[in-house]
């Protein structure tokens, strides 16, 4: 307690001596500066709040419930429409395979007109792109390399004779295995019911 009273006395002495000399007390000067800066801070904060208040609070966003409802509706749409679209993708791949088989068949027919016979099974479809050392080859009979089927597999070719005609040309479908149903069904050059 004695120390506290000594500090108080020294503070009062300093205040009276500085006041007597006409100098402002250091604490009162700091207090005045801090009060001014507080007022400026309040003004700035008030302006900022009014700007933020106008931009953020005037533009209302979606509530959580509204967002959940939108997500659920989108999920239902994908669930209902998705399987139909994926089924059409499979059908379009089968149609693309049929079209490619017909184009390859036309190229094989052009080869036969030039050479006199279809390429044998050993020469395969590559004979449409590169000369297999035969006379009268007037190719290439395809503008690009021999395409793969829409599932990324090589087309199968058998000739001279084929089991189902002069040549057999087919794709084994999505599963890449003989037979199958739906998307896995074989697409062939000899089955007219597929067209």
Condensed to tens digits (0 to 9), the pLDDT of residues 155-177 reads 999 988 778 888 999 998 888 88
Measured between alpha carbons, how far is 150 from 61 in angstroms, rounded to an integer?
46
Q: Please, is 112 exposed, middle or buried when counting C-beta atoms within 10 Å of its C-beta (0-12, 13-18, 19+)?
A: middle
Percent of the chain surpassing pLDDT 90: 21
In a domain, 70, yes or no: no
Condensed to tens digits (0 to 9), the pLDDT of residues 89-140 reads 777 888 889 999 999 999 999 999 999 999 988 899 999 999 888 888 988 9
Measured between alpha carbons, how far is 54 from 74 in angstroms, rounded to an integer?
33
Residue 152, domain extent: 87-188
Indicate which CATH number applies to the domain containing 95.
3.30.700.10
Select the more confidently predicted residue: 104 or 194.
104
Report, in angstroms and rounded to the nearest whole number, the Rg of the chain calculated over CA atoms. Answer: 44
In a domain, 140, yes or no: yes
- When divided into structural domains, the chain yields a total of 1
The predicted structure's pLDDT at residue 46:
63
The predicted structure's pLDDT at residue 108:
92
The predicted structure's pLDDT at residue 42:
67
Percent of the chain surpassing pLDDT 70: 65
The predicted structure's pLDDT at residue 59:
61
The predicted structure's pLDDT at residue 21:
56
What secondary structure letter does DSSP report for 55?
A: I
- Measured CA to CA in angstroms, residue 40 lies from 28, 36, 46, 52, 64 at distances of 18, 6, 10, 18, 39
In a domain, 166, yes or no: yes
User: Which residue has tokens 């006379």?
Assistant: 135
In a domain, 31, yes or no: no
Measured between alpha carbons, how far is 58 from 52 in angstroms, rounded to an integer?
9
- Measured CA to CA in angstroms, residue 142 lies from 31, 148, 189 at distances of 92, 13, 18
In a domain, 51, yes or no: no
Select the more confidently predicted residue: 112 or 31.
112
Let me know: does 148 contact 164? Beta carbons within 8 Å: no
């Amino acid at each position: 307690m004695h120390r506290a009273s000594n500090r108080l006395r020294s503070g009062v002495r300093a205040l009276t001596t500085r006041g007597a000399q006409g100098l402002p007390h250091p604490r009162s000067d700091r207090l005045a500066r801090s009060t001014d800066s507080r007022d400026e801070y309040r003004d700035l904060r008030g302006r900022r709040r009014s700007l933020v208040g106008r931009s953020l609070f005037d533009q209302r966003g979606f509530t959580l419930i509204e967002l959940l409802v939108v997500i659920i509706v989108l999920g239902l749409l994908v669930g209902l429409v998705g399987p139909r679209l994926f089924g059409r993708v499979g059908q379009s791949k089968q149609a693309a395979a049929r079209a490619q088989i017909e184009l390859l068949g036309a190229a094989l027919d052009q080869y036969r007109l030039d050479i006199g016979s279809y390429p044998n099974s050993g020469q395969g479809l590559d004979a449409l792109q590169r000369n297999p050392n035969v006379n009268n080859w007037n190719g290439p009979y395809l503008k690009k390399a021999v395409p793969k089927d829409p599932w990324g597999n090589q087309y199968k070719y058998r000739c001279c004779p084929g089991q189902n005609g002069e040549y057999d040309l087919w794709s084994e479908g999505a599963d890449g295995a003989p037979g199958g149903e739906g998307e896995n069904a074989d697409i062939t050059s000899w089955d007219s019911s597929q067209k």
